[in-house]
Amino acid sequence: MSDADALLRVDGLRTVFATPEGDATAVADVSFVLCRGETLALVGESGSGKSVTALSVMRLFESPPGRIDSGTMRFRERDGQVVDLVQASEPQMRALRGAEIGMIFQEPMTSLNPLITVGEQVAEGMRRHAGLGRREAAARAIALLARVGIAAPELRARDYPHHLSGGMRQRTMIAIALACAPSLLIADEPTTALDVTIQGQILELLRDLQRELGMAMLFITHDLGVVAEIADRVAVMYAGRVVEMAPVRNIFATPRHPYTQALLRSLPRITTGIAGPVDLVPIPGQVPSPLALPSGCAFAPRCSHAQADCREAMPPLLDAPDGTNVACLHWRELAP
Amino acid sequence: MIAVSDLDVAYASAGRAMQVVHGVSLTVAPGEVVGLVGESGSGKTTIGRAIQRLLEPRGGSVSLDGTDITHLSRRELRPLRRRMQMIFQDPYASLNPRLTVAAIIGEACAIHGIGTRPDRAARVARMLEQVGLPEEAMHRFPHEFSGGQRQRISIARALIVEPAYLIADEPVSALDVSVQAQVINLLNQMQRERGLGMLFISHDLAVVQHVCHRVVVLYLGRVMEIAAVHALYAAPRHPYTQALLNAAPQPNPDRRRTVPALRGEMPRPDAPPSGCVFRTRCPHALPVCAMMVPTLTQVAPGHLKACLRDDIPYP
Amino acid sequence: MSPLRRLLTRPLSVASLLMLILVVAGGLCAPWLAPFDPQRMDIMHRLLPPSSLHWLGTDDFGRDELSRTLFGARLSVLAGILVVLVSTVCGTVLGLLAGSVRRLDDLLMRFADALMAFPDILLAIALMAALGPSLLDVVLALGTVYTPRVARLVRGAVLVLRRQTFVEAAEALGASDSRIVLVHVLPNLVSPLLVQGTFVFAAAVLTEAALSFLGAGIPPPTPSWGNMIAGAQQYIDRAMWLIFAPGLAILLTVLALQILGDALRDALDPRLRRLT
C-alpha cells in the first residue's frame, strides 16, 4: 500500500514497565502498518503484549511505571499532517483521543461512568471535539444510539449504564467511540465478556460501521474464531513480539510460525463426527514471564522444532510468500 | 447416578425471590460426561451449585446414587460429599492464598479422615504427580503458579478423595487457549482412568464437544434440548441450539453462516415471555408458541427437545 | 517481594518503625534506663530547665522529667498493647459471630453502632467513672470503646471471605463451619487486624493521655503523659519544657503508629503484590 493510504505506522515499539523486581518488557520491537478501511487483528494469549500495544498507541498506560523506551508511531491526522504518537505531548494526545482515534474496551461496565446517563456520555465527546451545542449534541447522540442498534434510543439515552444489558453497554461504548467519526478505532477484546449470540451482533455492527465510515480498526483479541470473522490482516503476538503477520486467509490456511501452527492445532473446533471425549493437542510449557524473557527466540523453549541457533538471537520478521512475515529462522523447513 | 428431577432454584434479590432455574431434569450416569451448556443467565452454574448442595433448591429433587440429598443438613451431607466433588471456574479465587498446596490438597483428606497424617504427604505427592505437577510444588503457595497450574491443583484437591462424580464449573474458561488444551486432556484422562461421572458446565460449544458424551442445552433456566454429542452437533433440533452452534466463531475465514444470526437479547429472568421463553428471538416462532409452554419430547432415542415444532430443518 | 521488605523500602515507614521501636524499648526498659526514680521528689531543684544532670529538666516537685517521660511511655505502651489485645480478641469473636450467624448479625451490629455513637472520650470517661482509676480499668474501658470498631471490620471481612470461591470449595469438600472459620477465614483476617491494631494502638495512647489529662485516667503521682501535661499546665510560662516532653512523646508515638498503619496496609495489600 502506498504511503498516502497508511494511517498508522508503528516501528520498533518497545514498552516497558518498571517493577520492584526489575523492568518487565511488555512490548518488544513491534512494527506494523495499518491502512484506511482495513482491520488488523492483534492476536495472542495473556502476556503476549497485545493489550499493551493498543494502550501504547493511545498512550493510555500509567507512566510511571510504564514507559515507551523506543520506537515511533506515525499517525496521519485528518488534515494530512503526520504526528509521532510516541513524541506527542499530552495535550496533543488528548486532542486526538476521541476525535481521530477512538477506543472501546473489554468491560463496558467499568469503562462507562456509572453516574452519568448514557446519552450524556455519547454527547460529551461531540461537544468537546466537534464543538457542538448542547441540544444538537443530544439529538445526534440519540441518532448515534439508534445507529448502533439500540431500540428506543430517546428513552435509553436517559438511562444509566447499570440499567442496560452487557450487549447494550457495549453498543453504547461503540457509539461514544465513534461519535466524532475517528479514522482509527482501537477495539480491545470488545466481545470477550459478551455471550456468544450477542458477540455475533456486535461484530456485525462493527463491520457495518467500519464500511460506512471508512475507518481503520486495530482489533485485539485472543479468540482466533473472532479473528477469522473480523480481520483483514492478522499479527500473531507472543511474549511481546509479533511472530507472524499475514492476510487472514494465509494465517489459517498456511500458518508459518511454529507458535501459530501449534496454536491452531490446540484449538477445539466444532465439527461433525465426534462421538465422545477426544483429546486436544496442547502446547507444552507456559508463556515466559516478561521479567525473564529467554535469550534468543522467546518461543524456543516450547517449540518442537527449536534448534541451536534459535536460542542465540531473536529472529527478525522475515519475508515469506503471499504477503506473510514470519519471525522464525527455520520457517522454510516447516510445512504449514 | 446423579439424578436431578424438576429442579427449581430461586435467589433472593432485593427482597424478592427471582427464580433462575425452572423444572430442570437431567441425569449423569457413572462414567458418563454430561455437558451443561448455556449463555449467562441460563442457570447452568446455579444448577451445578444446587447439585453440589452449595445452595438449597426451592423445588424438585437431587439424588446421589439413590439417596435424596435435596434437603439434607450440612452434617448429613458430609459423608456423601466424598462421592461428589467440584472444580470451579476461577483459578485465582478457588485456592486459599494463605495455605500451601499441600495444605489445600491435604485438607480434603483431613476432612474425610483419609489416611493418617504421615502418609497424607505421600498421597498428596502422588496426586500432584498424576496431575502433572512436581512434588516440590507441595510447599509452595498458589500465587507462585500460573492459571493452568492452579486448575491442576484444584483438580488434585477434588480427586484425592476418589469421588465417583465430578462437577466441573467452567474449568477452562479462564485459561489461555494453549493451556486449555492441557487441562482438558488432563480432565479427559482422569475421567477415563477413574470412570468418573462428570457434569461439565460450559458456554464453549467447541470445548464441550471434545469432553462430553451427552449435552444438555439451557436457556433462561429451562432445558431446551438434550442429545448425545454426535447427534447434537450434526443435527440439532431446537432453534436455540442451532443458533448457538451457528454463532460460535470458528477459526475459518471462509465459513459462511447457514442460519441467520439471532436478534435481540435474553429476556430478564424476572420477566420471562409467556409460553416458550425463547420465542422472542426464535426465527421459527408461531403464534401458538406464546400460548403453550413446550415440554421435552423425544425426537429419537436419547434425543429430546422442548419445541412445539417438529419441522425445523438444519441446513 | 515480601510485605516486610516492601514496608522497608519507604523512608517514612522506616522512620516510623524506628520511632516506635524507640518508644516501646524505652517504655519497657524504663526501670533500667531511667536515671532517677520517677517519684523521687527534690523540692530544692524544682522547675529546673534541661541540663546535663536532668536532660529534660525537673517538674514542680523536682522529679526528673526524663525518668517520668520514660515511665509514662511504659504506661502508654502497656496500655496500648493491652487495649489492642482486648479489643482484637473480643472484636474478632463478636465479628466472627456477626458475620457467620445471620440472626446475631443485626443484634450485634446495632449494639456496636450504639457504642460507636458516643465520642470515644465521653464513653471512656463514663466507663472510668463506673470502674475506678487504675491501669486495668483504663484497659477495660478503652478495650470496650474500641471493640466495636474491630468487630465491624471483622464482620465485614468475614462476609466478604465467606463468598470467596475458596471458601465455597471448602464447603463443597465437606468442611465444617468451625474448620472454615479456623483454617480459611481467620488466617485471612490477620492482615486487616494487624493494620487495624496499629490504629487502635494509636487511638488508645491518645485517649489514655486525654483521660489522664482530664483526671479520669491514671491518677498522679504515677506518671502518665496525660497527667504530666495536666500538671504542667500552670507552669507553662515558667517551665514550658514540662509540656514539651510528654506532648512531643504523644505526638511522635501516635504519628509513627498512624504512618506505620498506612504503610502496613499498602504493604499487605495483595493487589499491589504482583505486577503480572
Task: Please list every residue in chain A whose beta carbon sits closer than 8 Å to the beta carbon of residue C276.
Answer: 24, 47, 289-291
In order of A121, A125, C265, the CA distances from A170 in angstroms are 13, 17, 36
The Cα of B10 is separated from the nearest Cα of chain C by a number of Å equal to 18
Q: Is B73 on the interface with C (CB under 8 A)?
A: no
**Between vectors from CA B245 to CA B239 and to CA B251, what angle results, nearest 5°?**
155
Burial of B137-149, coded b for 16+ CB within 10 Å and e otherwise, reads bbebbbeebbbbb
Cell numbers that stand for B184 in this block: 482438558
Amino acid at B108: A
Tens digits of residue pLDDT in C104-126: 899 999 999 999 999 989 999 99
Task: Give mean pLDDT, residues B167-183.
Answer: 91
Q: Is B27 exposed, middle or buried (0-12, 13-18, 19+ CB in 10 A)?
A: middle
Cell numbers that stand for B13 in this block: 434479590
Q: Are C91 and C79 in contact (CB under 8 A)?
A: no
Q: Name A10's bridge partners.
A: A32, A73
Task: Determine the pLDDT at residue C147.
Answer: 95
Q: In what order do the strands lie in the sheet with A82-84?
A: A22-35, A6-19, A66-76, A82-84
The Cα of A293 is separated from the nearest Cα of chain C by a number of Å equal to 13
Nearest CA in chain B to A197: B247
The Cα of C177 is separated from the nearest Cα of chain B by a number of Å equal to 9
| Inter-chain contacts counted by CB atoms under 8 A, chains A and B | 148
Task: Determine the pLDDT at residue C131.
Answer: 87
Task: Give mean pLDDT, residues B27-56.
Answer: 93
Q: Are C23 and C252 in contact (CB under 8 A)?
A: yes
The answer to whether B107 contacts C175, with C-beta atoms less than 8 Å apart, is: yes
Q: Is C215 exposed, middle or buried (0-12, 13-18, 19+ CB in 10 A)?
A: middle
The Cα of B210 is separated from the nearest Cα of chain A by a number of Å equal to 5
The Cα of C267 is separated from the nearest Cα of chain A by a number of Å equal to 13
Cell numbers that stand for A140 in this block: 445526534
Least CB–CB distance from B206: residue in A166, A262, A269: A269
Task: Please list every residue in chain C whose beta carbon sits closer than 8 Å to the beta carbon of residue B79.
Answer: 174
Least CB–CB distance from A277: residue in B148, B191, B266: B191
pLDDT above 90 (res B221): yes
**Between vectors from CA A287 to CA A286 and to CA A290, what angle results, nearest 5°?**
145
Task: Determine the pLDDT at residue C240.
Answer: 84
Alpha helices in chain A (DSSP H): 50-58, 90-96, 108-111, 118-129, 134-147, 153-156, 166-178, 196-213, 224-230, 248-253, 258-266
DSSP helix/strand/coil, C78: helix
Task: Determine the pLDDT at residue C100.
Answer: 84
- Find how far residue B112's CA is from the centre of its chain: 25
Nearest to C161 by CA among C223, C92, C107: C92
φ, ψ at C242 (rounded to 5°): -70, -25
Tens digits of residue pLDDT in A270-296: 887 777 788 888 888 888 888 888 888
The answer to whether B265 contacts A281, with C-beta atoms less than 8 Å apart, is: no
Q: Is A239 on the interface with C (CB under 8 A)?
A: no
Q: Are B142 and B93 in contact (CB under 8 A)?
A: no
Tens digits of residue pLDDT in A219-229: 999 999 999 99
**Between vectors from CA A290 to CA A284 and to CA A293, what angle results, nearest 5°?**
65
Task: Please list every residue in chain B whose beta carbon sits closer than 8 Å to the beta carbon of residue A167.
Answer: 265
Residues of chain A with pLDDT > 90, as a percent, come to: 47
Task: Determine the pLDDT at residue A288.
Answer: 86
State the pLDDT confidence band at C51, using cuts at 50, 70 and 90.
confident
Q: Is C271 exposed, middle or buried (0-12, 13-18, 19+ CB in 10 A)?
A: exposed
pLDDT above 70 (res C270): no
Q: Compute the distance between CA of residue B217 and CA of residue B208 in angstroms, rounded to an integer.
A: 11
Q: Which of C100, C161, C166 to mutate to test the interface with B (most CBs of B within 10 A)?
A: C166
Enumerate domains of chain A plus CATH numbers. Answer: 6-231 (3.40.50.300), 241-268+279-333 (no CATH)
Q: Chains with 3 or more CB pairs closer than 8 angstroms to C?
A: A, B
Least CB–CB distance from B209: residue in A201, A226, A268: A268
| Inter-chain contacts counted by CB atoms under 8 A, chains B and C | 61
Averaged pLDDT score across all residues of chain C: 87
Task: Determine the pLDDT at residue B40.
Answer: 87
Q: Are A242 and A299 in contact (CB under 8 A)?
A: no
The answer to whether B81 contacts C174, with C-beta atoms less than 8 Å apart, is: yes
State the pLDDT confidence band at A4, using cuts at 50, 70 and 90.
low
Residues of chain C with pLDDT > 90, as a percent, come to: 35
Q: Compute the distance between CA of residue A288 and CA of residue A239 in angstroms, rounded to an integer.
A: 7
State the pLDDT confidence band at B261, using cuts at 50, 70 and 90.
confident
Q: Compute the distance between CA of residue B210 and CA of residue B177 in angstroms, rounded to an integer.
A: 14
Q: Is B227 on the interface with A (CB under 8 A)?
A: no
Task: Please list every residue in chain C whose beta carbon sits closer than 8 Å to the beta carbon of residue A19.
Answer: 275
Enumerate domains of chain C plus CATH numbers. Answer: 3-39+60-272 (1.10.3720.10)
Task: Give mean pLDDT, residues B273-284.
Answer: 92
Task: Determine the pLDDT at residue C271.
Answer: 57
pLDDT above 70 (res A65): yes
pLDDT above 70 (res C161): yes
What is the helix (H) or strand (E) element at residue A8, kind and residue range? Answer: strand A6-19
CATH number for the domain formed by residue range(s) B2-219: 3.40.50.300
Tens digits of residue pLDDT in C65-91: 888 899 989 988 899 999 999 999 999
Dihedral sign of CA atoms A142, A144, A145, A147 in order: positive
Task: Determine the pLDDT at residue B59.
Answer: 92
Q: Compute the distance between CA of residue C172 and CA of residue B121 in angstroms, rounded to an integer.
A: 22
Q: Is B209 on the interface with A (CB under 8 A)?
A: yes
Q: Compute the distance between CA of residue C218 and CA of residue C75 in angstroms, rounded to an integer.
A: 9
Q: Compute the distance between CA of residue B309 and CA of residue B237 in angstroms, rounded to an integer.
A: 9
Task: Determine the pLDDT at residue C272.
Answer: 54
Task: Determine the pLDDT at residue C276.
Answer: 31
Nearest to B134 by CA among B145, B143, B125: B125
Q: Are C66 and C56 in contact (CB under 8 A)?
A: yes
Cell numbers that stand for A127 in this block: 461537544
Q: Are C124 and C214 in contact (CB under 8 A)?
A: no
Sequence ranges of chain B with CATH classification 3.40.50.300: 2-219
**Between vectors from CA C6 to CA C147 and to CA C250, what angle results, nearest 5°?**
45
State the pLDDT confidence band at C274, using cuts at 50, 70 and 90.
very low
Nearest to B169 by CA among B143, B187, B189: B187
Task: Determine the pLDDT at residue C275.
Answer: 37
Q: Compute the distance between CA of residue A19 and CA of residue A66 in angstroms, rounded to an integer.
A: 9
